[in-house]
Amino acid sequence: MSLKSLNIDKTWTLFLDRDGVINRKIENDYVRNINQFELIPGVIDGLRILRGIFGKIIILTNQRCIGRGLMKEEDLLEIHAEMLKIFNEHGISIDGIYYCPHDPEKEECNCRKPKPGLALKAKEDFPCIDFKRSIIVGDSLSDIELGRNLGMITVFISPVCYDYYLVDYRFESLWKFAIALQSKI
């Protein structure tokens, strides 16, 4: 399936993972405060392109560091507020941010990706979301599994070419995905 055959318009929704797609991921640790939050190069320009293509842009992020007691929910909300402020300064609006604060080793939930809770909550808030007219962009298999389970098109962000059968497309960055999509529309 080629990107051109998707016929994406403003009725489509883009779901984005946060760490590793929007901001640099801290390997074997977590982004715990605003000083550790660093946008990946090209994200602003990529989001500008994508905002012009998609009707909705939603961020879905697992944040088990809260459940582990490594940061407070207020810290996460501060990071998200600063991220949205940066995006707004560049004319980029995000329709929603949904996060799972649970540590699966301590409690069961329906929202930790690849479980569907975060995406279903977004659909509850935005009934116009059609998962068959949605793309999920993530850097982990849990993002891809979530998208696959709900019938979304999946985009895997990785500099390394993995042969995941669940992945529809692979790009090195959100920026490269945005450029490829823009050139096909």
Q: Are 4 and 125 in contact (CB under 8 A)?
A: no
Contacts (Cβ under 8 Å, ≥6 apart) of 101: 63, 64, 66, 67, 73, 76
Q: Which of 9, 17, 45, 95 is catalytic?
A: 17
Q: Is 17 a catalytic residue?
A: yes
Q: Is 9 a catalytic residue?
A: no
Q: Which of 9, 19, 75, 95 is catalytic?
A: 19
User: At 180, which helix (H) or strand (E)?
Assistant: helix 174-184
3-state secondary structure 99-129: EECCCCCCCCCCCCCCCCHHHHHHHHHCCCC
Nearest CA-CA partner of 100 in 85, 86, 116: 116
Residues known to be catalytic? 17, 19
